[in-house]
């Protein structure tokens, strides 16, 4: 069996929030309670898109202790492979869908004396669940949330209304920027730093923290990589003795699954390491996109993360 345990749900509400972001709410079909989860967890949503089953991870943003409803936010990506477009255009209230049990790769460090959170754009969603969890524990937290402009700032008003003293908002188009050096220098011992947002923001926060002497184990980040479209390529699966083709808008993992071959996965975003696959032989060039393999492993040509990475060349044979 691959992936986490599955849950059958019904779409109970769809709420457009901004031009790009729509919120989806799920309730369990069997009438039982949904599992509780920990702030920062995601669920993998399965979408039956024609002949293709897409599985995209989305951070759970509802109260982790609320067992009646799960909530996610989906940002429409017009350039992507279609998962977010499917959610925005094909899903209606009342639809039955399958999601995975929650999995957390962006967990709070509960030892922290203070949780300092930095969000960019849709990266706000895991923090919404974490904040609800921390509030219940009367924990010390502070959020700095950057968005392009007010119109795209999903959840700004909800956050600033409920937590006027702990939430700081920055609009890029109004030239508002987080004064990161000052912010980090003033933090008491025991502070943990969390960042979720675009790659540039994550690199900036991690780089600044490192320059100021922050140890890496207190700097937490989550960056889901959506699998990128690319050129069609051919792969031989050695164990199952199959030749498959990975389409332009399909990930290698999806193509393996479509061929009826069971492959392990959890995050489908290049982060968790579950789908790591050995390369038997290849003639061509890997397009590694994950942040699981280190540079040496990527250069070795011995491993690939099929959830996000692709291949360009003549032949690729995988141990699968």
C-beta of 307 vs 316, nearer to another protein: 307
Q: Rounded to the nearest whole angstrom, what is the least distance from the CB of residue 150 to another protein in the complex?
A: 31
**292/305 Cα distance (integer angstroms):** 8
Which of 274, 277, 289, 309 touches another protein (CB under 8 A)? Answer: 274
Residue indicated by tokens 């922050």: 214
**Which stretch, 77-85, 101-109, 143-151, 160-168, contacts another protein (CB under 8 A)?**
101-109
**Measuring CA to CA, which residue among 64, 46, 72 is closest to residue 268?**
46
Binding-site member from 8, 15, 96, 109 for another protein (CB under 8 A): 109
What is the token pair recorded at 173? 């188009």
Q: Does 143 bind another protein (CB under 8 A)?
A: no
Q: Which of 53, 113, 232, 281 binds another protein (CB under 8 A)?
A: 113
Residue 40 CB, nearest distance to another protein (Å)?
8
Total residues at the site for another protein (CB under 8 A)?
44
Map residue 169 onto helix, strand or coil: strand
Q: How many CB atoms are located within 10 Å of the residue 251 CB?
A: 28
> Which of 29, 53, 93, 137: binder of another protein (CB under 8 A)?
137
For residues 211 and 314, which CB has a smaller minimum distance to another protein in the complex?
A: 211
Is residue 35 close enough to count as binding another protein by CB under 8 A? yes
Burial class of residue 280 (count of CB atoms within 10 Å of its CB; 0-12, 13-18, 19+): middle
Q: Which of residues 253-272 bind another protein (CB under 8 A)?
A: 266, 272
Cα(92)–Cα(65) distance, rounded to whole angstroms?
26
- In our burial notation (b when 16+ CB lie closer than 10 A, e otherwise), range 49-76 reads beebebbbbbbbbbbbeeeeebbbbbbb
Q: Residue 138, interface with another protein (CB under 8 A)?
A: no
Binding mask 42-81 for another protein (x = CB under 8 A): ----------------------xx----------------
Tokens of 133: 């969890």
Site string for another protein, 176-215 (x = CB under 8 A): --------xxxxxxxx-x----------------xxxxxx
Pseudo-torsion of CA 148, 151, 154, 159, nearest 10°?
90
Q: How far apart are CA 132 and CA 268, in angstroms?
A: 26
Q: Please, which residue, 107 or 315, has the CB nearer to another protein?
A: 107
| Beta-ladder partners of 309 | none
User: Binding residues for another protein, per CB under 8 A?
Assistant: 4-5, 35-38, 40-41, 64-65, 101-104, 107, 109-113, 133, 136-137, 184-191, 193, 210-218, 266, 272, 274
């Amino acid at each position: 069996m691959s992936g986490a345990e599955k849950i059958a749900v019904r779409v109970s509400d769809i709420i457009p929030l901004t031009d790009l972001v729509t919120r989806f709410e799920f309730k369990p079909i069997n009438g039982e309670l949904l599992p509780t989860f920990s702030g920062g967890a995601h669920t993998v949503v399965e979408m039956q898109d024609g002949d293709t089953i897409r599985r995209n991870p989305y951070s759970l943003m509802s109260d982790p202790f609320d067992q009646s409803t799960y909530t996610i936010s989906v940002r429409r990506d017009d350039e992507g492979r279609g998962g977010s477009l499917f959610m925005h255009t094909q899903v209606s209230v009342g639809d039955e869908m399958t999601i995975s049990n929650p999995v957390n790769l962006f967990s709070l460090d509960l030892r922290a004396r203070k949780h300092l959170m930095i969000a960019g754009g849709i990266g706000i969603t895991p923090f919404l669940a974490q904040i609800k969890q921390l509030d219940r524990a009367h924990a010390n937290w502070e959020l700095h949330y950057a968005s392009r402009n007010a119109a795209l700032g999903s959840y700004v008003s909800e956050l600033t209304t409920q937590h006027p003293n702990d939430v700081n908002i920055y609009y890029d188009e109004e030239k508002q920027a987080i004064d990161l050096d000052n912010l980090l220098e003033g933090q008491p011992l025991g502070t943990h730093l969390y960042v979720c947002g675009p790659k540039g923001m994550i690199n900036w926060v991690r780089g600044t923290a490192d320059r100021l002497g922050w140890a890496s184990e207190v700097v937490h980040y989550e960056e889901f990589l959506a699998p990128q479209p690319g050129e069609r390529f051919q792969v031989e699966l050695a164990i199952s003795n199959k030749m498959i083709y990975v389409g332009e808008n399909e990930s290698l993992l999806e193509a393996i699954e479509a061929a009826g071959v069971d492959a392990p996965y959890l995050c489908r975003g290049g982060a968790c390491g579950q789908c790591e696959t050995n390369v038997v032989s290849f003639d061509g060039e890997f397009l590694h996109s994950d942040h699981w393999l280190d540079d040496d492993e990527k250069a070795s040509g011995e491993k690939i993360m099929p959830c996000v990475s692709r291949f360009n060349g003549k032949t690729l044979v995988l141990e699968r």
